[in-house]
Every structure is written in C-alpha cells, then in structure tokens.
C-alpha cells in the first residue's frame, strides 16, 4: 500500500510539527493487532454498504465486531435517509495534490446532494475519543471530495463526522464550502510547501497528542528537551516537603513523562537487539519460569506413579470476557446475566475532569477491604 509523504491522517501532526515528517522518513511502517482489526472492520463496513459478502473466516470476525459495525452502518443509513435524495460513495480515494504535493487519502463514506456534502469516518479504536471539530484529516477528505464532486453537485455546506461505535461516540463539525476552500488554499497549501522545505525540516513543536502516534517519538530530541524542560520547571515551595500543589504539578505531567521514558527504553532495547551500541547498557537474559514441555507424557508418568487425573489437573470456569467471547454478549446476558454482579470498584486517582462522581471523604480503607 502506498503512503503519501504528507498524509491526511497525519495532518494534525505535520501541520503543527513540520520537522516530524523528515524525522519519520527513514522509520519503517509498523502495524499492530489493533490496526489489523480496524482494517478488517472497515472492510466489513464497505462490504455491507455495497452488498458484498463478508469474510467470516477472517481471524478478526466476531459477533462483537459485527455489533459495532452494524451500529456504525445504522448511523450512515440514518444520515443517508436525512439527505434523500443523495448519492453514497464508499472507500473513495481522493486527490489533494493541488494543495499538498502527492497528497491523497481514502474517505470511508461520502454522502452528497445539491445542498450538502457529508464525510463520515469510522474510528474503530476505543482508546481515545476523537473530536470532529476542525479535524484536519476529515477537512482534507472533505476538500478532496469537493474537488471530485463539485462538477456534479452544487452544495455549499460541508459536514465531517467521526463515528466511534465502540465508545458510543459521534462527533460532527459543519463548515461552509467557501471557508473550507479558503482553509485549504490559504493555510494548508503554503504550510505543506513549508513542511517540505529545508526550514520546515528544522521546525519542531512537540505535544503529547501529536507525539503519541509519531514514529520518531522515541528518538526525537525536541520531544526529549520538552520532557526534560517540564522536569526542570518543577518549582517546589519547600526544600524538604512536597506541597499539594507540587504533587498536583507532578501528576499533571507524569503520564507523558512515563510514556516517554518507556518509549526511549524500547528504542534502546531495539537498537541493542540490532547490534548497535548504547553506552553503559547491554542486553542480558531475563528471568524465566520452568515449564512442562510434554503434558501428555507428564500425565502418563504421573498416572504410572499411582496419581489420579483429578489430583494433578484442575478445571476452572472461564472469566466473564472469555465466556462472552464463547457465547456472544446477547446470549451471555440471557443465560448468565442474573448471576453476574459488578461490585463497587476500588478507589483510583483521577483528574477533576473525569466524569465519574467523587467518592465521599467519609469512606475508609475498610470499606474496600474486599477488593484486594
């Protein structure tokens, strides 16, 4: 699969951190199980919307995936009905090379008539809610769709939508076609040219959101400097005791710093594994546990010694996740729902922005003694 140097999916990063493009250039593309599952979910959506058969033999096929996919499709169909009469285009490759050299992208679903253009993007992940407001990836898709369809339709309004069925999250943003074109031509086009220039290669602007999916995040010096700068900015009120404000400041930055340290460690590990040198560090054999290499043979030997199968084996009920996977969520609830309970959770630290209610200060450790 070919990739644009300035991809629409990475626009949130390269528009704000031009130097990341050159830094990522020689870093190989990687994939993950989450990405593979997401790719399959997109394939299923395309097939259902276009009347093609689904590959149920795919390892990612499951009742849960189908439930989420169908939820997304129901939303698409609802919007299509609202737009009637309209045309629907699925998995459309879009050209944006007039504003981004070599720029292209693929939109999941496009709905269009003479009044409005809607671009709907499926995000199958469940890690972070994504906001459609001024989302550069979707706005670039909308611009590409405009360039492809403007000669057929007379719409003057554009809407971009992010659908995250696993988070029960829908986010939309509406913009006039006039303002979308102005954004693309007056901001994106000159910015893309700058990103690809010698000056752009030296321009870094690290940020926790932008850096999260950057392939160069572990060895980017600008990011390291930003992390160390945060650490050096600790302005402690007392030379001996952390104030509550000190603790709050540390907690505010702990997640980013912890992630960065983990990524640098992984980078060092991979470098050493590839035969490179990291001064002062080496790879050594880690701890391992003994294991039986032939369980059938072990069983026969134990039985020959007079032990019964019940004495050296144990049977345990699958956990709730395993049982849901075995039965499917609906059948699980029908069959076992009445004997499933969810006890009160153990207290955890959270930010004030967390939507969960604050626990009463009257609770004591004894109130949670059963959670260990």
- The answer on pLDDT for 202 being more than 80 is yes
The predicted pLDDT at position 224 comes to 95
Radius of gyration of the CA atoms of the chain, in A: 27
Mean pLDDT of 41-54: 96
What is the rounded distance in angstroms from the CA atom of residue 311 to the CA atom of residue 314? 8
Tens digits of per-residue pLDDT, 109-156?
A: 999 999 999 999 999 998 889 999 999 999 999 999 999 999 999 999
Task: Give residue-wise pLDDT tens across range 216-226.
Answer: 999 999 999 99
In this prediction, residue 237 carries a pLDDT of 60
Give DSSP secondary structure letters for 174-229. Answer: EEEHHHHHHHIIIIIHHHHHHHTSHHHHT-----HHHHTT-TTTTT-HHHHHHHHH
d(CA 191, CA 205): 14
The least confident of 58-67, 212-221, 244-253, 307-316 is: 244-253
Tell which CATH architecture fits domain 11-201: Alpha-Beta Complex (3.90)
The helix (run of H) or strand (run of E) holding residue 273 is helix 244-273
Say yes or no to pLDDT of 364 above 70: no
The pLDDT assigned to 180 comes to 98
Cβ neighbours of residue 368 closer than 8 Å, sequence gap 6 or more: 344, 346, 347
Domain residue extents for the chain: 11-201, 218-273, 285-341
Is the pLDDT score of 2 beyond 50?
A: no
Digit-coded pLDDT (tens) for 282-293: 999 999 999 999
Nearest Cα residue to 332 out of 317, 344, 345: 317
Residue with tokens 């609202």: 82
Assign 272 a pLDDT band (cuts: 50, 70, 90).
very high
Q: Quote the pLDDT of residue 28.
A: 80
Task: Quote the pLDDT of residue 235.
Answer: 64
% pLDDT > 70, the chain: 94
pLDDT confidence of 362, banded at 50, 70, 90?
low
Residue 208 binned pLDDT confidence (cut-offs 50, 70, 90):
confident
Confidence of residue 58 (pLDDT cuts 50, 70, 90): very high
Angle at 253 between CA 248 and CA 254, to 5 degrees: 90
Question: Pseudo-torsion of CA 22, 23, 25, 31, nearest 10°?
Answer: -140
Say yes or no to pLDDT of 107 above 90. yes
Q: Does the pLDDT of residue 239 top 80, yes or no?
A: no
Name the pLDDT band for 1 (thresholds 50, 70, 90): very low
Say whether pLDDT at 328 is over 80. yes
pLDDT, one tens digit per residue, over 20-31 is 999 998 888 777
Residues 6+ away with beta carbon under 8 Å from 49: 73, 76, 88, 90, 109
**1 vs 263: which has the higher pLDDT:** 263
- Asked if the model's pLDDT at residue 244 lies above 70, the reply is yes
In this structure, what token pair is assigned to residue 193? Answer: 């040219």
Percent of the chain at pLDDT > 90 equals 77
For the chain, the average pLDDT equals 91
């Amino acid at each position: 699969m070919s990739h644009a140097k300035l991809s629409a999916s990475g626009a949130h990063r390269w528009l704000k951190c031009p130097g990341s493009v050159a830094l990522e250039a020689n870093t190989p593309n990687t994939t993950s199980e989450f990405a593979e599952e997401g790719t399959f979910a997109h394939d299923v959506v395309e097939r259902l919307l276009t009347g093609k058969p689904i590959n149920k033999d795919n390892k990612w096929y499951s009742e849960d995936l189908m439930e989420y996919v169908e939820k997304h499709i129901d939303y698409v169909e609802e919007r299509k009905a609202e737009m009637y009469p309209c045309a629907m285009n699925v998995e459309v490759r879009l050209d944006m090379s007039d504003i981004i050299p070599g720029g292209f992208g693929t939109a999941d679903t496009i709905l269009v008539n003479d009044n409005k253009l809607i671009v709907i993007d499926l995000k199958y992940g469940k890690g972070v809610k994504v906001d459609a407001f001024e989302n550069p990836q979707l706005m670039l898709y909308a611009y590409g769709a405009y360039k492809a369809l403007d000669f057929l339709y007379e719409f003057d309004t554009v809407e971009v939508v992010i659908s995250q069925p696993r988070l029960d999250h829908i986010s939309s943003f509406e913009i006039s076609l006039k303002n979308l074109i102005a954004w693309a031509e007056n901001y994106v086009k000159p910015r893309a040219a700058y990103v690809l220039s010698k000056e752009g290669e030296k321009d870094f602007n690290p940020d926790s959101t932008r850096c999260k999916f950057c392939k160069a995040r572990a060895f980017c010096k600008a990011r390291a400097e930003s992390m160390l700068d945060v650490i050096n900015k600790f302005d402690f009120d007392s030379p001996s005791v952390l104030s509550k404000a000190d603790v709050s400041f540390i907690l505010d930055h702990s997640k980013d710093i912890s992630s960065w340290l983990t990524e640098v460690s992984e980078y060092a590990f991979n470098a050493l594994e590839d035969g490179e040198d990291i001064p002062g560090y080496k790879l050594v054999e880690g701890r391992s546990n003994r294991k039986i290499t032939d369980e059938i043979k072990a069983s026969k030997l134990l039985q020959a010694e007079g032990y019964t199968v019940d004495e050296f084996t144990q049977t345990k009920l699958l956990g709730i996740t395993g049982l849901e996977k075995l039965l499917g969520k609906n059948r699980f609830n029908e069959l076992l729902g009445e004997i499933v309970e969810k006890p009160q959770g153990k207290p955890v630290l959270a930010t004030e922005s967390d939507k969960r209610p604050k626990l009463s200060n009257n609770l004591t450790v004894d109130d949670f003694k059963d959670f260990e």
